[in-house]
């Protein structure tokens, strides 16, 4: 089968699943947002009993928050409801719950999808991955900064939390219009909600309840996003050789999770299918996988995914992700960013 024939075939296949079911979407919104709010309240009440109980409850609460973010994510792709207005409305609401400005994030995430696995279109909406040559050309202080940013003890802890709590409060230079307004009005809404909660329950209770939930959810979310594009066998290519189909099927992983984690993460482990067609609602990704052998690629299991922690750079000579140790043995030409 030629590349053109494969291309036509997969586009016809994904089109069958790229239609949201309103009632399934409403049910998912209900069984995600409502439990998150209820669990948050139970965590607050548990402060009267034991903070250890509060921390235990933080785990399922964070799981529901991750699920809320998946709904936010689908709304950003216009795949959760048939109506764009409905997607935008729920996207704004779930964006406030996840501390993420909807239109600003939607714009950046669209850029990520348009250039995923493209070495010439990196830097917006992704976890920055330098090539070995680019890293070698950096001055020492930028190498140090890159090492800190890619350190898992930073990236999946304070780094993840910082993205949602701090970085999302600002916009990049040059961002205007609806995207900038999205950041401003999300901040206003969060300030108003925080002020009301501060008045009724106090700032200590807010921090004691919300901080552990955000920490766990943000760490899990960034890890999911990271392992979906940083894995053994990942596809990266320069723009003139880059192919959309390969970027989806080979540049995004099939992260096979236990059923309970698959539920909390809204089937986002079927990321290769999602990148081929972002218009497929999350609740139809598994169905598309099971019904079509073309999508049944080698999975990345939870155990195998731990190897992703060692990947730091892309080796253009060997066409694979490598760790910093590969720099010492690299004999390719030096370049610049």
Determine the 3-state secondary structure of 322 from DSSP. strand
> Which pLDDT band holds residue 325 (cuts at 50, 70, 90)?
confident
Q: What is the rounded distance in angstroms from the CA atom of residue 26 to the CA atom of residue 285?
A: 17
Q: Which residues have C-beta within 8 Å of that of residue 26, sequence separation ≥ 6?
A: none
Q: What mean pLDDT is predicted for residues 105-113? A: 94
Handedness of CA 52, 43, 188, 195 (dihedral sign): negative
Please tell me the distance from the alpha carbon of residue 224 to that of residue 210, in angstroms, as a whole number: 21
What is the per-residue pLDDT for 7?
Answer: 56
Taking the CA atoms of the chain, what radius of gyration do you get in angstroms? Answer: 21
Which residues of 31-101 form beta strands (DSSP E)?
none
Q: How confident is the model at residue 334 (pLDDT cuts 50, 70, 90)?
A: very low
Cα 286 to Cα 196, 254, 268, 271, 281, distances in angstroms:
41, 11, 9, 10, 10
User: Is the pLDDT confidence value at 308 over 80?
Assistant: yes
Confidence of residue 1 (pLDDT cuts 50, 70, 90): very low
Task: Indicate the average pLDDT of the chain.
Answer: 92
Residue with tokens 């009005």: 185
CB contact set of 184 (below 8 Å; sequence gap of 6+): none
Predicted confidence at residue 329, as pLDDT, reads 65
- Write out pLDDT tens, residues 246-262: 999 899 999 999 999 99
pLDDT in tens, 259-289: 999 999 999 999 999 999 999 999 999 999 9
User: What pLDDT score does 10 carry?
Assistant: 85
Q: What is the mean pLDDT of residues 191-198?
A: 97
Beta-strand pair 320-322/313-315:
antiparallel
**Listed range (8-17, 79-88, 169-178, 190-199) with the worst mean pLDDT:** 8-17
């Amino acid at each position: 089968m030629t590349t053109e024939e494969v291309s036509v075939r997969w586009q016809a296949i994904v089109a069958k699943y790229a239609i949201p079911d309103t009632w399934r979407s409403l049910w998912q919104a209900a069984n995600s947002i409502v439990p998150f709010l209820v669990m948050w309240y139970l965590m607050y009440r548990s402060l009267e009993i034991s903070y250890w109980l509060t921390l235990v409850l933080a785990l399922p609460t964070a799981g529901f928050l991750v699920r809320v973010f998946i709904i936010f994510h689908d709304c950003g792709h216009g795949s959760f409801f048939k109506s764009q207005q409905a997607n935008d409305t729920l996207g704004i609401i779930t964006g406030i719950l996840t501390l993420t400005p909807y239109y600003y994030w939607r714009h950046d995430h669209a850029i990520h999808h348009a250039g995923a696995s493209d070495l010439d279109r990196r830097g917006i909406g992704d976890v920055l991955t330098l090539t070995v040559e680019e890293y070698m050309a950096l001055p020492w202080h930028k190498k140090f900064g890159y090492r800190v940013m890619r350190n898992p003890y930073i990236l999946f802890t304070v780094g993840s939390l910082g993205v949602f709590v701090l970085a999302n409060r600002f916009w990049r230079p040059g961002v205007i219009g609806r995207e900038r307004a999205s950041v401003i009005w999300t901040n206003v809404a969060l300030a108003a909600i925080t002020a009301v909660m501060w008045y009724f329950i106090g700032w200590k209770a807010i921090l004691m309840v919300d901080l552990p939930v955000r920490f766990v959810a943000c760490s899990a979310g960034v890890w999911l996003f990271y392992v979906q594009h940083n894995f053994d066998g990942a596809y990266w290519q320069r723009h003139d050789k880059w192919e959309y189909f390969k970027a989806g099927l080979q540049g995004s992983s099939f992260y096979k999770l236990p059923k309970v984690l698959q539920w909390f993460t809204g089937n986002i482990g079927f990321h290769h299918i999602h990148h081929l067609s972002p218009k497929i609602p999350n609740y139809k990704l598994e169905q598309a996988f099971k019904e079509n052998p073309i999508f049944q690629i080698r999975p990345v299991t939870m155990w195998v995914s731990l190897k992703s922690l060692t990947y730091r750079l892309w080796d253009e000579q060997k066409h694979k992700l490598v760790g910093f140790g590969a720099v010492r043995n690299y004999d390719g030409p030096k370049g610049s960013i």
